A and B are shown apart, each in its own frame.
Chain A
Amino acid sequence: MQKSYRKYAVFFILPTFIAFIIAFLVPFLFGIYLSFTKFTTVTNTQWVGWDNYVRAFTANRDFTHALGVTAAFTVVSVISVNLLAFGLALLLTRGIRGTNLFRTVFFMPNLIGGIVLGYIWQLMINGLLLRAGVDITYDPKYGFWGLVVLMNWQMIGYMMIIYIAGLQNLPGDVLEAAEIDGASPWQKLRHVTIPMVMPSITICTFLTLTNSFKLFDQNFALTAGAPMKKTAMLALDIYNTFYGRVGDEGVGQAKAVVFFLMVAAIAFVQLWTTRSREVEQ
């Protein structure tokens, strides 16, 4: 059977694979090469070794600062989004009236694109800060926490949906048994519900982690890094390096490679911990 299929590889694989080569494979490999060169156009390159990588960290503090902002933002939003989403999911699986309507409303922000979300929240936050006579660009704290609120608003509904799916798959008899044994609601949550929805927790942590770490559109629209690049995250800093000053393209590409390695490391660690946990079960 396999042999008879093989002749048809052209039909089945080629359309996707050609697109994959053009849109991903060649840009990826060429991008790694360019990170070791100085260039302004892709045809005029000059090998400079690790110079771009050194300059990414030493020419100014933009990249390391962006790394700090990204790390802080990721930690805060992973924790807050998951806690709130899990809480909402618990409330919405009790069979109260209007559950579907609430679910619809809470999920809606997730469909709106990052650029649009950024400007919606810019209006909201600037409006609230108006009383103090300042706007979101006044202090990096405003931009940072504004972005956290925005991220929560966008992601809570999505994660809530996944948690609801996990909670609905809980076998009822286990909870009932715990109740008969005299477990308090808190004990039931701590020792029955949470261990049993662990797969959902893993998925949601992973999704919020990568989405927060790679955030660009929302950051770009809400503050664009203002004031003084103090609220720029990694993806935005890479973009600014690329398209900011002529001659820095190589540094931008080097930063992008470092960024890729960090994202890959996160994904790998996540996969590894999930695997090891699955073996235990």
Chain B
Amino acid sequence: MKQKKKSWRSTLLVVFLTILAVFFLAPVFLVLMNSFKGQFYISDAPFALPDANTFVGLKNYWNGIQKVGFFSAFGYSLFITVCSVAAIVLFCAMTAWYLVRVKTRMANGLYYLFVFSMVVPFQMVMFTMSKIANLLRLDHPVGIILLYLGFGSGLSVFLYSGFIKGIPLDVEEAATIDGCRPLQTFFLVVFPILKPTAITVAILNAMWIWNDYLLPYLVIGNRYRTIPIAVQYLQGGYGSRDMGALMATLILAIIPIVVFYLACQKYIIKGVMAGAVKG
């Protein structure tokens, strides 16, 4: 009897969660549906399915891709994200390891400086940072990597340090006795141990950099559009914008994220969890 009651309850729960999941996906489906309608039919009746009158096939996609240069935007976003994340994962690990192992007053002070930078919102430095980037000729997709390394180093050094503090010294001492120089010790012994944290650092930074709008807009926005800048670029004046191209570009912007998410779901969820617990 009790068993029966329980299964009835869990069926109800599944139904409830399914309805909720549909609501969660609805906004994205709404955009997808509208991306196949003519641009003048979108604002007037966004909930209507495309019909013979309003269906325009892939025309919006073609428009969107051309108007914003979507493929080059995708290329810039991919290049900047991959290179910045690689730089952050490697250099912040080296810095964190050094700061934890060499306990001078300088190293300690530097560590707290990195931690402090986590509290500072981007608006505090956005103007001066973009001016300095111009001054130093860092206003191109390669230069911006340095800015991401610098601005992202606070959280990443912090996450790595937390993990490194828990690694016993014995392994590294053994490596030194066996004749490893510090650089060898780091790359052959320490870095492989850091892998779980490296994944967390990579996921958190990739999510931030791929979606970041303001920093690339202020530094390289005039000449190089990343995907968020491309989407914002379609906004134009209110009313005059091409809603069809906007819908199509939104879908194009979401596709890489969904593919990446489904492929690396396990790592993403683990990484986000670990990052939250330590941060």
Interface residues of A, Cβ cutoff 8 Å to B: 1-2, 4-6, 8-9, 11-13, 15-28, 30-31, 34, 41-42, 88, 91-92, 94, 96-98, 101-116, 119-121, 123-124, 126-127, 130, 137, 153, 158, 161-162, 165, 203-204, 207, 214, 216-217, 220-221, 235, 238-239, 242, 249, 252-253, 256-257, 259-260, 263-264, 267
Q: Which residues of B contact A253 (CB under 8 A)?
A: 127
Q: Which residues of A contact B269 (CB under 8 A)?
A: 103, 107, 161
Given contacts A5-B182, A96-B10, A97-B10, 6 further A-B contacts (CB under 8 A): A20-B150, A20-B153, A26-B128, A98-B17, A120-B250, A130-B46
- Other-chain residue from B27, B176, B276 in contact with A124 (beta carbon distance below 8 A): B27
Closest to B99 in A: A13
Least CB distance from B124 to A in Å reads 4
Q: Which residues of B contact A115 (CB under 8 A)?
A: 211, 213, 228, 231-232
Task: Give the dominant DSSP class at A's interface.
Answer: helix
Q: Which of B62-70, B90-98, B192-200 contacts A (4 or more CB under 8 A)?
A: B90-98
B36 near A: Cβ within 8 Å? no
Listed residue (A88, A115, A119, A249) with the most chain B CB atoms within 10 angstroms of its CB: A115
Contact B146 A19 (CB under 8 A): yes
Contact B150 A19 (CB under 8 A): yes
Contact B149 A16 (CB under 8 A): yes
Least CB distance from B212 to A in Å reads 8
Closest to B88 in A: A16
Q: Which residues of B contact A9 (CB under 8 A)?
A: 98, 102
Contact A94 B30 (CB under 8 A): no
Query: Given A2-B103, A107-B269, A113-B210 in contact, is the A98-B27 Cβ separation under 8 Å?
Result: no
Closest to B13 in A: A96
Contact A249 B103 (CB under 8 A): no
Closest to A137 in B: B238
Q: Which residues of B contact A153 (CB under 8 A)?
A: 24, 27
Least CB distance from A121 to B in Å reads 6
Least CB distance from A7 to B in Å reads 8
Provide the bound-state CA to CA distance between A13 and B101, in Å: 12
Query: Given A15-B149, A23-B146, A207-B276 in contact, is the A114-B95 Cβ separation under 8 Å?
Result: no
Least CB distance from A19 to B in Å reads 4
Q: Which residues of A contact B236 (CB under 8 A)?
A: none
Q: Which residues of B contact A242 (CB under 8 A)?
A: 126-127
Provide the bound-state CA to CA distance between A214 and B210, in Å: 18
24 contacts between A and B (CB under 8 A): A2-B103, A6-B104, A9-B102, A11-B183, A12-B94, A12-B98, A16-B91, A17-B110, A18-B146, A20-B113, A20-B150, A23-B146, A24-B129, A111-B268, A114-B228, A116-B228, A119-B246, A123-B42, A127-B47, A130-B44, A217-B228, A239-B214, A242-B127, A263-B119
Closest to A6 in B: B102
Provide the bound-state CA to CA distance between A116 and B149, in Å: 24
B21 near A: Cβ within 8 Å? yes
Contact B21 A102 (CB under 8 A): yes
Contact B91 A34 (CB under 8 A): no
Provide the bound-state CA to CA distance between A26 and B147, in Å: 12
Q: Which residues of B contact A111 (CB under 8 A)?
A: 207, 257, 260-261, 268
Listed residue (A109, A116, A203, A259) with the most chain B CB atoms within 10 angstroms of its CB: A116
Q: Which of B69-118 contact A (CB under 8 A)?
A: 87, 91-92, 94-95, 97-99, 101-104, 110, 113-114, 117
Least CB distance from A87 to B in Å reads 10
Contact A263 B182 (CB under 8 A): no
Contact B13 A109 (CB under 8 A): no
Contact B97 A42 (CB under 8 A): no
Least CB distance from A95 to B in Å reads 9
Q: Which of B10-48 contact A (CB under 8 A)?
A: 10, 13-14, 16-17, 20-21, 24-28, 30-31, 34, 42-47
